[in-house]
Amino acid sequence: MKTRIAAVQMVSGPDIAQNLRDAGRLIAEAAADGAQLVALPEYFPLISANETDKVRAREREGAGPLQDFLREAAVRHRVWLVGGSIPLEAGTPDKVRNSCLVFDADGRSVARYDKIHLFGFQRGTEQYNESQTIEAGAGVAAFDSPFGRIGLSICYDLRFPELYRAMGTVDLLVVPAAFTFTTGQAHWELLLRARAVENLCYVLASAQGGMHPSGRKTWGDSMLVDPWGTVLKRLPAGPGVVAGEIDPARIADLRASLPALQHRVL
């Protein structure tokens, strides 16, 4: 049976309450359109010029207003909600884990993934170093759902295909992201389509997309890619929802005609 899924695209700022209102409105829009699974972007509750703001907003797993929001939104709209990423407690008081939590339609926490690969980039005056405020996670996250087996990754992880291989066989990869405009323009679509083709699965990418109050510019282009690497739906920039269907029969047909996953040697 086909399943309708949706990616939420945002342009988050420093006001957490406003970001949650925006996210809630877009989740409602996706659910009203029939989505059974909705994914939020990386850093959906907070993007600030001060990178330490997320440390002050961090929560202990299982308690806090950001997790309450995700849980309540999943229940209210009867969707499986992939919560982009939120800051959770790390091993040191000056850092966070950049964590993706998944809640089912009954509000149960069914999966957690902490971003493993921490983004670093410098070109001219543009500079990012996530390791200053983020503690890397360890381990992969893939879980079973009514819609098939789902693998989780976050943004910069997209550049590391071995992470996805370690998940085993999945039907859907969800990639919340906040790709920079510079790197997104060059590589975002290329990498998403490659991960879909390599794993013969659907890829749902939920991104930040626009000019943020902090001055940061993100690429956006949230999209749904099918197992053949075809972009089914996309949203170039600005807040909104990208929705489409995943089809288990399409996956099975392609894997039968091109059994690359069975031909793996390494």
Catalytic residue among 54, 95, 115, 217: 115
- Residue given tokens 């098939």 in the structure block: 148
106: region left, alpha or beta (phi > 0 left; psi from -120 to 50 alpha): alpha
Mean pLDDT, residues 7-34: 98
Q: Over the chain, what is the mean pLDDT?
A: 97
pLDDT score at 126: 81
Cβ–Cβ < 8 Å for 239, 229: no
Read off the pLDDT of each residue in 58-73 and give the average, rounded to a whole number.
Answer: 98
Question: What is the mean pLDDT of the segment spanning 225-231?
Answer: 98
Spatial neighbors of 66 by CB under 8 A, at least 6 apart, are 16, 20, 45, 57, 59, 86, 87
Q: Which percentage of the chain shows pLDDT scores above 90?
A: 96
- Of 89, 143, 155, which is closest to residue 116 (Cα–Cα)? 155
Q: What is the CATH number of domain 3-257?
A: 3.60.110.10
Q: Please tell me the predicted confidence (pLDDT) of residue 56.
A: 97
pLDDT at 205: 99
Among residues 29, 42, 135, 189, which one is catalytic?
42
pLDDT exceeds cutoff 90 at 175: yes
pLDDT of residue 247: 98
Q: What is the DSSP letter of 122?
A: E
Confirm whether 155 is a catalytic residue: yes
Q: Is pLDDT above 90 for 264?
A: yes
Q: Can you name the residues that pair with 4 across neighbouring β-strands?
A: 245
At 177, the pLDDT band (50, 70, 90 cuts) reads very high
Number of H helices, E strands in the chain: 7, 15
* Helix, strand, coil percentages, rounded to 5, for the chain: 30, 30, 40
The distance of Cα 255 from the centroid of its chain, to the nearest Å, equals 25
Q: What is the pLDDT of residue 92?
A: 95
Model confidence at 210: pLDDT above 90 = yes
Local confidence band at 253 (pLDDT 50, 70, 90 cut-offs):
very high
Which region holds residue 238: left if phi is over 0, alpha if psi is between -120 and 50, else beta?
A: left
Mean pLDDT of 197-202: 98
| Of 20, 9, 52, residue with least CA distance to 214 | 52
Q: Annotated catalytic residue: which of 95, 100, 130, 155?
A: 155
Instruction: Mark whether 115 is an active-site residue.
Output: yes
Instruction: Considering only residues 94 and 127, tell me which one the structure prediction assigns the higher pLDDT.
Output: 94
**What contacts 214, CB < 8 A, 6 or more positions away?**
13, 14, 47, 48, 49
Residue pLDDT, tens place only, 120-170: 888 888 887 999 999 999 999 999 999 999 999 999 999 999 999 999 999
Angle ∠(170,175,179) on CA atoms, nearest 5: 150
Predicted TM-score (pTM) of the model is: 0.97
* pLDDT for 122: 86
pLDDT exceeds 90 at position 5: yes
When pLDDT is averaged across residues 51-68 and rounded to a whole number, the result is 97
pLDDT of residue 61: 97
